[in-house]
Amino acid sequence: MRRVKHLIFWLVVIGIILLLFSSHVIAENDFHRQRYALVEIIKAEVKETGDFLNQEALDERVIDALLKVPRHEFVRDTERPYAYANRPLPIGHGQTISQPYIVAVMTDLLKLKKTDRVLEVGTGSGYQAAILAELVDSVYTLEIVEPLAKQAAENLKRTGYDAVHTRIGDGYYGWEEAAPFDGIVVTAVASHIPPPLIKQLKPGGRMIIPVGAQFMTQYLVLVTKDDDGKVTTRQILPVSFVPLTGKH
C-alpha cells in the first residue's frame, strides 16, 4: 500500500511539472507570435512615416533584434498581456517603457555597426539596452532612479544580456570613463542637447534624443558629429517622452 501511495504521489508531482512546463511553452509560443505581429505593425508604421525618417524600411539587423528580444520580460507582470501592443507601458516611478515603434526608429537612426560602443541614457526596464546589445559589442546604460536601475540589471541578467554595463547616475553627464561613443540614445526628453553628451560622442558618431518640454511639443532630434568634430542636428518627428531628470 505504501508503495502504491508513493507511486501515486510521484505521478501527481510529475503531472503537475508537465502541466506547468506545457503551459510555459504555450505562453512562450504565444509571445513569439505576438512579437512577429508587432514587428509587422512597426514595419507598416515606418513606411507610413517614411517622409519624416527619409527611409521607408528598417535595417534588417534592427528587425532581427526586435524579433529576438522578449519585451514581456522587461515589463511588470500586470502589463505582460500588453507587452506586444505598439504603445508605451508604465514600469513604475513615473517612468515608461517606450513604444516599440519609437525604440525601433531610434535604434535604426544610429546606423550601428557590430564593433560600435553605445551609451543609453535612461535604462528604464532595460529593453532598449537589450535591443542595442543585439547589434553592438559594447553597451553602457545609465538610470537615475535607483530601483529601476537595479530591476533593469536583473532583467538584463535574467534574459542573457548580462554583458551590458549598467550604472545608477545622472545621464545628463554621460559616462565619461567609457567615452567616446559611436552612438548615444537618450530615452527621456531634454530642454536642450546636453553638452557633456556631445563631447562624449565620437567624431563620425550619432546621437538620437527627444528635445522639448513635458506636455509641450517634443521632437526626436538626430545629432551627428563629422570627422572634424562639427555638429549638426535634424528634427525627425514629433514624440512624447517623460522628462530627463537630475540636478543639471
Question: What does the DSSP 8-state code read for residue 178?
Answer: G
Q: Quote the pLDDT of residue 208.
A: 98
Residue 112 near residue 182 (C-beta atoms within 8 A): yes
Query: 62 near 105, Cβ under 8 Å?
Result: no
The yes-or-no verdict on residue 157 having pLDDT over 50 is: yes
Q: Is the dihedral of CA 126, 132, 136, 140 positive or negative?
A: negative
pLDDT band at 216 (very low <50, low <70, confident <90, very high): confident
- Whether 125 sits among the annotated catalytic residues: the reply is no
Domains of the chain: 28-239 (3.40.50.150)
> d(Cα 239, Cα 242) in Å, to the nearest integer?
10
Is the pLDDT assigned to residue 92 strictly greater than 60?
yes
Q: Is the pLDDT of residue 71 over 60?
A: yes
Residue-wise pLDDT for 177-186, tens only, equals 999 999 999 9
Chain-centroid distance, C-alpha 104:
9
Q: Has residue 247 got a pLDDT over 90?
A: no
Query: Nearest 5°: phi and psi at 158?
Result: -60, -35
What number of H helices and E strands is found in the chain? 7, 9
Q: How far apart are CA 137 and CA 155, in angstroms?
A: 19
Say if CB 231 and CB 209 are below 8 A apart: no
- Choose the catalytic residue: 98, 125, 138, 240: 98
17 pLDDT exceeds 80? no
Exposure on the CB side of residue 225, measured as CA atoms within 13 A = 20
pTM of the model: 0.86
The mean predicted confidence, pLDDT, of the chain is: 90
